[in-house]
Structure 1
């Protein structure tokens, strides 16, 4: 009986710490939101159909076989697996970093946002061969490339990493003065 308790205790120690589980839970929620919105748009819209929502914002359905801003979209299909491989590596590295730096809330939140976006777009890329984009910003003939919830998550995560680093730099600069 004693052996069973020790084995159960050892197994529990390998589980993610509660903080890590919370971060991964947040990432899962964002991935679900991303996939549900893409699914809804796919069922609701015809390809390239646009519905104005605001004077500067439309909903549309477009497919991106490339990376950000349709980079590599003109490839013959090889880019699907290259970009999927890069996403898998990023997911592994980011997951390790979340566990490693779990006490740095702002930094780990940023990583979690990027992780969720990478997973959301990876799902599309593997299952469909392209990423579904549907949010379109425009102004007086200028159009920002269509994007999705996963892209927003990655963008906010990247901005938050920059902000976090700026805060660290300011704190270091202030402590060097003292």
Structure 2
């Protein structure tokens, strides 16, 4: 269990550190190319959910809504992780998802919006900007799907 707490701390720490670097070294909407024509670091504040969904809601309601929903999601995922701790890959997946949710929750509480900065594109076609927390959530969901589809059930005491 200790290694999973370290995993959460490492992911949240990396997420917050990278966001700190962006916020304190760039202006909002400033961008600099890392791989020309493909990847830039671009400072964006995302007021909504994934891909900016619900960004048009009243700011006070939106912020409260996302904070409450995120806390509920973290509690539910924590319960699932505890109940399914014998499934190592699934448990790892849940820890990644919780890590990402915590990273973005910290932003919502202290910034009011989520700091995004990883900007992938080809020409004028952009993938919505994201951050380390979003990566952890996406990788966690990927491994969760792999576990559910491909990993055989663990039999308990039969």
Normalization by structure 1: what TM-score?
0.81
| 1:128 and 2:75 are equivalent in the alignment | no
Q: Deviations over 1:35-78 (max 9, x none)?
A: 00000000111111111001310001000010000001111211
Superposition pairs for residues 35-74 of structure 1, below 5 Å? 35-55=16-36, 56-74=38-56
| 1:165 and 2:148 are equivalent in the alignment | yes
Structure 1 residue ranges, 4+ long, deviating more than 6 angstroms after superposition: none
Counterpart in the other structure of 1:89: 72
The equivalent position to 2:8 in structure 1, one of 27, 34, 45, is 27
Aligned length: 151
Once structures 1 and 2 are overlaid, which stretch shifts more, 32-41 or 93-102? 93-102
Q: Deviations over 1:64-108 (max 9, x none)?
A: 010000001111211111111110011111222222222211101
For 1:92 and 1:165, the matched residues in 2 are separated by 21
Counterpart in the other structure of 1:149: 132
CA RMSD of aligned residues (A): 1.2
The equivalent position to 2:81 in structure 1, one of 80, 98, 103, is 98
Equivalent residue of 1:147, what SS?
coil
Q: Deviations over 1:86-142 (max 9, x none)?
A: 100111112222222222111011101100000000000011110000000001210
For 2:110 and 2:142, the matched residues in 1 are separated by 29
For 1:71 and 1:57, the matched residues in 2 are separated by 23
Equivalent residue of 1:51, what SS?
strand
Kindly state the Cα deviation for residue 32 of structure 1 after the two structures are TM-superposed. 0.6
Structure 2: which 5+ runs fail to align? 154-158
For 1:38 and 1:118, the matched residues in 2 are separated by 15
Normalization by structure 2: what TM-score?
0.91
